[in-house]
């Protein structure tokens, strides 16, 4: 660790380089403290809601209340993300994979199409649709924050088959921990294209600081309540 801050350098094989990130030791510690204290506080405060949602998910369709999926995190390290289950058990993800790859490629390989969700997705349960629209399905990720795998604020953690289609410039987003919310989420979410998401994530990586994280957290609640870009 350098005296003026922490500089991290790492690459993805020979294909793409994430780049360098420089943050002061104080800023890094402050962000982690906010993550840990904030996530623990929210888990305690929201525990009645978490129990209610879990019970509703179980009653709505067969299967566990919590869905775990391998995602790609900081420095390309895979981890298991936790979410409330919004889909039926045992339904293949082929249609979603094809849809996501189309959004990334944009049909013309430019990623200019809006990151809309798959229409008429028969995998999603009745309760699951509501949880997705209100972002309540994301709440179990607070445990990922406590574990240090995620941050309260950061880029969205992608699935490996999404990463397999990434252009070189998109790997910049792996320079920091993925977040429960982020600059992309409060700027339009699915109303924006993949290319715009990558640009916002790169901007966040360059500007990452405690004040910026606090600002994004304050913007998250009205964004969720208004349902901006949730469709």
For the chain, what are the domain ranges? 23-226
More confident residue, 196 or 10: 196
4 has pLDDT over 60: no
pTM to 2 decimal places:
0.85
Angle between helices 25-45 and 210-226 (to 10 degrees): 30
**Distance between CA 180 and CA 156 in Å, rounded?**
7
pLDDT at 13: 41
What burial letters (b/e) apply to 197-213, b meaning 16+ CB within 10 Å?
bbbbbbebbeebebeeb
> Quick one: DSSP state of residue 157?
P
The residue among 79 and 112 whose pLDDT is bigger is: 79
Task: Judge contact between 198 and 158, C-beta under 8 A.
Answer: no
Instruction: Output the pLDDT for position 3.
Output: 37
Residue 18 reports pLDDT greater than 80: no
Instruction: Give pLDDT tens digits for 131-187.
Output: 998 999 999 999 999 999 999 999 999 999 999 989 888 999 999 999 999 999 898
Q: What is the pLDDT of residues 64-78, one digit of tens each?
A: 999 999 999 999 999
| Cα-based angle 179, 185, 188 (whole degrees, multiple of 5) | 170
């Amino acid at each position: 660790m350098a005296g003026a801050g922490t500089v991290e350098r790492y690459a993805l094989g020979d294909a793409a380089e994430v780049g360098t990130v420089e943050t002061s030791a104080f800023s890094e510690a402050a962000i982690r403290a906010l993550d840990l204290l904030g996530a623990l506080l929210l888990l305690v405060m929201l525990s009645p809601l978490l129990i209610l949602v879990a019970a509703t998910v179980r009653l709505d369709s067969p299967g566990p209340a919590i869905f775990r999926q391998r995602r790609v995190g900081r420095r390309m390290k895979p981890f298991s993300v936790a979410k409330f289950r919004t889909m039926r058990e045992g339904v293949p993800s082929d249609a979603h994979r094809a849809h996501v790859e189309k959004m990334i490629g944009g049909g013309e390989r430019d990623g200019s199409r809006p990151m809309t969700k798959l229409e008429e997705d028969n995998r999603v349960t009745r309760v699951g649709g509501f949880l997705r629209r209100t972002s309540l399905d994301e709440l179990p990720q607070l445990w990922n924050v406590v574990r240090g795998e995620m941050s309260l604020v950061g880029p969205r953690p992608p699935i490996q088959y999404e990463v397999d289609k990434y252009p070189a410039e998109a790997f910049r987003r792996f320079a920091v921990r993925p977040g429960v919310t982020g600059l992309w989420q409060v700027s339009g979410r699915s109303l924006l294209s993949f290319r715009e998401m990558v640009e916002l994530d790169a901007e966040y990586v360059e500007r990452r600081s405690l004040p910026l994280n606090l600002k994004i957290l304050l913007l998250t609640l009205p964004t969720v309540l208004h349902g901006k870009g949730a469709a």
